[in-house]
């Protein structure tokens, strides 16, 4: 062992989410020595909150009679991004995502329960959402167990602080701070950055996003450790930012409520939404695409809206079921049986200001903090559209036109939540970080949400499971590339 390092490996992976663990496991399969550094007390990152991952022409789709070609997927990514996505990155992912399904199932023991979509009424959504038993959290457990079994050294509560390079710029290792606060230096022929983006860093959100002062308003439901550490290390090592660096996966959510809450689920149904001034502002059917709905919410005054509905609508949600769910947490069509009791308790809680109820629209407006005259006019116009079965203002389909006529009335305040950021670091199709001249930095790679290229200005909701599909796939592809270059003597 070199006196310069406390220990040395072929590859050091920074970040223990889906991308990092996928990379570490494959590195071990390829015969490489590997260490994985995770600054939290456990692995998982934001992937632990995910339900499934995308693949195309997989055997799980084929045996269910589902046809989604790689060409369809490639075209959808590029068209949806207005060709701001990197075709080489998209192509590499699309070509290999089905292999990830085989690896997770046949090599790691995952069982796929379903392949589906997130919203049955969302136009153009591809059936790519592969849902493993136990969700992606169970994949994390399987990958971590396999990594340990194969001899990967996993260091928890260990924060990487910098990528170490020699005088030529070639990566030689990582500096880190261990669980005891001691400084450690690990040698490596390659370093892989998989730290999950910067959703938990309000300053970086404000620096890179197109929204004004959004960082401090966001409700972060992803990994708390996603604070942009990897981005900072790559930039310090000579890497560059990808043009899509400001891409955020946003969605409407209630503050201080869980994503399984039925009040929260009622709040994002595509019924009647008004902004902070009490005015309707969109075709609420955008709620079928929670990413688009999040983008719209972020741009509103206060980055919020009020979802207003009546007692008849609550009865509809209980007896008939919802129009759109939230992943596996609230299923599409699920009957919101807890809603009457939950929303009454929320409205009666004087410490809660994001759920209000009243017997008149005017009284509801006062509690919402909007002009009663404005809200009354908006409700009347909306009810007229519902009665006519035609929304001539925002052209919402008639099936989602539910009037606000039966008291008590309810207002649910929906704010902007964030799951992940995407596309921070410029890479090539081998996941190698690129310098300002577009050349690979020898030995430096980026995977998962840190890596740029798969998305344009927003998350590709028509292809559900994209982020986790890319995380898992980019991880093992990177390990294979490192192994090939080490064997060839170029790392």
**Distance between CA atoms of 78 and 39, rounded to whole angstroms?**
34
pLDDT at 92 over 50: yes
Tokens at residue 418, please? Answer: 């964030």
Whether residue 267 contacts residue 414, with contact meaning beta carbons closer than 8 Å, is answered with: yes
**Distance between CA atoms of 294 and 253, rounded to whole angstroms?**
9
Tell me which of 371, 387, 418 is where a domain ends.
418
C-alpha torsion sign, points 381, 387, 388, 391: positive
Residue 222's pLDDT is 87
Confidence of residue 378 (pLDDT cuts 50, 70, 90): very high
Residues 328, 453: one domain?
A: no
Is 88 part of any domain?
Answer: yes
- The separation between CA 110 and the C-alpha centre of its own chain, rounded to angstroms, equals 21
Tokens at residue 218, please? Answer: 């966001």
Residue 58's pLDDT is 98
Contacts of 434 (CB under 8 A, 6+ apart): 239, 240, 426, 427, 428, 440, 441
**Mean pLDDT lowest among 38-42, 120-124, 356-360:** 120-124
Domains in the chain, number: 2
In this structure, what DSSP letter does residue 56 have?
S
Higher pLDDT, 3 or 23: 23
- Radius of gyration over every alpha carbon of the chain, rounded to an integer in angstroms: 24
Tokens at residue 108, please? Answer: 């790691």
Q: What is the CATH number of the domain that holds 410?
A: 3.90.700.10
Specify the 3-state DSSP secondary structure of 159: strand
pLDDT at 196 over 90: yes
Is 393 part of any domain?
Answer: yes
Is 330 part of any domain?
Answer: yes
* Vertex 70: Cα angle to 290 and 67 (nearest 5): 80
Is 306 part of any domain?
Answer: yes
Residues 435, 410: one domain?
A: no
Residues 413, 446: one domain?
A: no
Whether residue 20 contacts residue 448, with contact meaning beta carbons closer than 8 Å, is answered with: yes
Residues 135, 279: one domain?
A: no
pLDDT at 1 over 80: no
**Distance between CA atoms of 283 and 274, rounded to whole angstroms?**
11
Predicted model pTM: 0.94
Residues 287, 217: one domain?
A: no
Residues 477, 381: one domain?
A: no
Residues 44, 189: one domain?
A: yes
Is 1 part of any domain?
Answer: no
**Environment class of residue 201 by beta-carbon count within 10 Å: exposed (0-12), middle (13-18) or buried (19+)?**
buried
Range of the domain at 325: 250-418
Contacts of 375 (CB under 8 A, 6+ apart): 274, 278, 308, 361, 362, 364, 365, 368
Q: What is the CATH number of the domain that holds 41?
A: 3.50.50.60
Given the DSSP bridges, would you call strands 7-14 and 409-422 parallel, antiparallel or unpaired?
Answer: unpaired
DSSP state string for 61-122: HHTTT----HHHHHHHHHHHTTT-S-HHHHHHHHHHHHHHHHIIIIIT---EEEEE-S-TTS
Residues 276, 321: one domain?
A: yes
Tell me which of 395, 418, 441 is where a domain ends.
418
DSSP state string for 22-41: HHHHHHHHTT--EEEEESSS
Element (H, E) at 342: helix 339-348
Residue 210's pLDDT is 87
Overall residue count recorded for the chain in this entry: 491
Is 2 part of any domain?
Answer: no
pLDDT at 407 over 50: yes
**What average pLDDT does range 444-458 have in this prediction?**
95
DSSP state string for 263-314: HHHHHTSSS-EE-TTS-B-S-GGGGGSHHHHHHHHHTSGGGEEEEEEEHHHH
* Vertex 278: Cα angle to 274 and 284 (nearest 5): 10
Residues 236, 345: one domain?
A: no
Tell me which of 359, 389, 418 is where a domain ends.
418
Residue 288's pLDDT is 87
Is 312 part of any domain?
Answer: yes
Residue 3's pLDDT is 58
Residues 102, 232: one domain?
A: yes
pLDDT at 290 over 70: yes
Element (H, E) at 434: strand 432-434
Report the largest interatomic distance among the alpha carbons of the chain, rounded to a whole angstrom. 80
Residues 397, 478: one domain?
A: no
Which single residue is written with the structure tokens 């404005």?
Answer: 374
**Mean pLDDT lowest among 18-27, 118-127, 228-237, 356-365:** 118-127
Is 210 part of any domain?
Answer: yes
Confidence of residue 260 (pLDDT cuts 50, 70, 90): very high
Count of alpha carbons within 13 angstroms of residue 138, beta-carbon side: 16
Closest of 484, 454, 482 to residue 468, by C-alpha: 454
**What average pLDDT does range 181-200 have in this prediction?**
97
Count the neighbouring beta carbons within 10 Å of the beta carbon of residue 198. Answer: 27
Residues 296, 179: one domain?
A: no
**Mean pLDDT lowest among 9-13, 47-51, 155-159, 410-414:** 47-51
**Distance between CA atoms of 476 and 474, rounded to whole angstroms?**
6
């Amino acid at each position: 062992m070199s006196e310069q390092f406390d220990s040395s490996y072929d590859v050091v992976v920074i970040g223990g989410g889906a991308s990092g663990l996928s990379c570490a496991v494959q590195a071990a399969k390829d015969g490489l020595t590997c260490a994985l550094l995770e600054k939290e007390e456990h692995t998982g990152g934001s992937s632990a909150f995910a339900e499934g991952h995308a693949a195309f022409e997989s055997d799980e789709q084929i045996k269910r009679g589902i046809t989604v070609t790689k060409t369809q997927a490639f075209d959808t990514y590029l068209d949806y991004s207005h060709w701001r996505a990197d075709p080489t990155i998209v192509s590499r992912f699309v070509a290999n995502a089905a292999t990830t399904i085989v690896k997770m199932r046949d090599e790691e023991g995952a069982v796929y329960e379903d392949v589906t979509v997130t919203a049955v009424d969302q136009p153009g959504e591809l059936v790519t959402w592969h849902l493993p038993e136990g969700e992606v959290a169970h994949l994390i457990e399987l990958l971590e167990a396999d990594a340990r079994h194969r001899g990967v050294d996993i260091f928890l509560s260990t924060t990487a602080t910098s990528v170490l390079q020699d005088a030529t710029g070639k990566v030689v290792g990582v500096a880190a701070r261990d669980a005891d606060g001691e400084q450690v230096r690990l040698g490596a022929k390659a370093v892989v950055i998989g730290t999950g983006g910067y959703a938990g860093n309000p300053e970086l959100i404000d620096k890179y996003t197109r929204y004004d002062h959004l960082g401090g308003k966001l409700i972060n439901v992803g990994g708390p450790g996603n604070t942009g550490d990897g981005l900072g290390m790559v930039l310090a090592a000579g890497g560059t930012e990808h043009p899509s660096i400001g891409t955020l996966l946003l969605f409407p959510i209630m503050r201080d409520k869980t994503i399984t809450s039925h009040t929260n689920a009622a709040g994002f149904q595509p019924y009647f939404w008004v902004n902070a001034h009490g005015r309707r502002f969109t075709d609420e059917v955008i709620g079928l695409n929670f990413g688009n709905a999040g983008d719209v919410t972020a741009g509103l005054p206060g980055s919020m809206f009020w979802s207003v509905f009546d007692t008849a609508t609550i009865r509809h949600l209980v007896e008939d079921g919802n129009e759109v769910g939230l992943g596996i947490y609230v299923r599409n069509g699920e009957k919101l049986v807890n809603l009457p009791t939950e929303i009454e308790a929320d409205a009666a809680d004087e410490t809660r200001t994001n759920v209000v109820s009243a017997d008149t629209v005017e009284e509801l407006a006062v509690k919402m903090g909007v002009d009663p005259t404005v809200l009354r006019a908006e409700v009347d116009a909306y009810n007229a559209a519902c009665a006519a079965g035609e929304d001539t203002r925002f052209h919402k389909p008639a099936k989602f036109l539910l009037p606000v006529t039966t008291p008590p009335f309810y207002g649910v305040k929906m704010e902007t939540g964030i799951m992940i950021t995407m596309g921070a670091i410029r890479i090539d199709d081998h996941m190698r970080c690129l310098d300002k001249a577009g050349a690979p930095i020898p030995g430096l790679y980026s995977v998962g949400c840190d890596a740029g290229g798969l998305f344009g200005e927003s998350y590709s909701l028509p292809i559900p499971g994209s982020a986790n599909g890319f995380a898992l796939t980019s991880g093992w592809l990177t390990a294979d590339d490192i192994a090939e270059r080490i064997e060839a003597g170029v790392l």
